Amino acid sequence: MHPVLRLLRRNVTISLNPGFLIWQIIFPLVYIFVAGFAYAPLISGVPLGGRDLDYPAFLASGMIGFNIMNSTLVSGIIIWNDRRHGMFEQIMSGPFTRAHYILANIGTIGVIGLASASLIAAVGYPVFFESAEFSLYTIPVVAFGAVTGSILFGSLASIISTRLRSSEGFNVVINTVFLFFAFVSTAFYPAEGAPEPLRTAFFLNPLTYLVDVIRAGVFGGITEFVLVEMAVLACVAAALFVAASRLLTKLDL
């Protein structure tokens, strides 16, 4: 088996533990079917692409992007644990190179991100199927958002894991950063009507662009602004990927 595939299998195997799977399934279910329907009477409709969505459908589609971000944390956690427990040195002393390690990490991000997006789309589909407008034009948009979002947040998690050495610092920084991304975004509520400077903060957050692209693909609301968001998402993902790759090539043994 090729070295990259061996490392990829190893990464996916250690990532798909019961705790991770429960977190990836139970947490979104609680938000979609508990918070979504609990808040629905308070939110009559959410404007999107010239029409109003009910809040459960809006939230279920947002949870697809949220779960992509959440699942790609595993890339940073794998790198952190490899460094902490001396596994990185052992891998480098075997038939593997840094290029193999980086490519396997990219593959892990892609596999986990797409699997997570598919899982939440399947779970949330009964909630938003009446409003969904999938087509040959919109499905690639969802796939684009899932792939670029996975690379973006996976690269960011990798950067954090290479720059911090203490476990306390790693946990505090990565949880704080991703908590900010989660709740200062359009994943749970729309930007329209939000007070300043919160509204501006929404559009400084890459999760907002990911969620907006996913929603455009699900509900068929592809506009010029969504195309701009796709371009921004791709540029930020590429920049973070290059930065993460360079840091991994310089990682101390």
pLDDT tops 80 at residue 111: yes
| Cβ neighbours for 142, distance < 8 A, ≥ 6 positions apart | 64, 117, 121, 213, 214, 217, 218
93-102, 105-114, 122-131, 200-209: range with highest mean pLDDT: 200-209
Pick the closest to residue 204 from 188, 185, 222, 223 (CA basis): 185
Structure pTM?
0.86
pLDDT category, 227, cuts 50, 70, 90? very high
| Cα 179 to Cα 135: distance, rounded to the nearest angstrom | 33
**150-197 pLDDT tens trace:** 899 989 988 888 887 777 788 888 888 888 898 889 888 888 777 888
Least confident of 63-77, 88-102, 130-144, 149-163: 130-144
Give me the helices (H) in 164-223, please.
Answer: 167-183, 198-202, 206-219
- Average pLDDT, stretch 62-82? 84
CB atoms within 10 A of CB 106: 21
Contact 206, 181 (CB under 8 A): yes
Residue corresponding to tokens 């090539």: 249
Would you state the structure tokens that stand for residue 26, as one six-digit string? Answer: 């139970």
- Average pLDDT, stretch 106-116? 82
Would you state the structure tokens that stand for residue 154, as one six-digit string? Answer: 């996976």
pLDDT score, position 105:
86
pLDDT tops 60 at residue 253: no
pLDDT score, position 119:
79
Would you state the structure tokens that stand for residue 181, as one six-digit string? Answer: 């991304």
| Cα 110 to Cα 69: distance, rounded to the nearest angstrom | 11
- Average pLDDT, stretch 87-92? 85
| Cα 42 to Cα 19: distance, rounded to the nearest angstrom | 33
H-helix or E-strand spanning residue 117: helix 98-128
| Alpha carbon separation from 185 to 51, 79, 178, 212 (Å, rounded) | 20, 27, 11, 10
H-helix or E-strand spanning residue 253: none
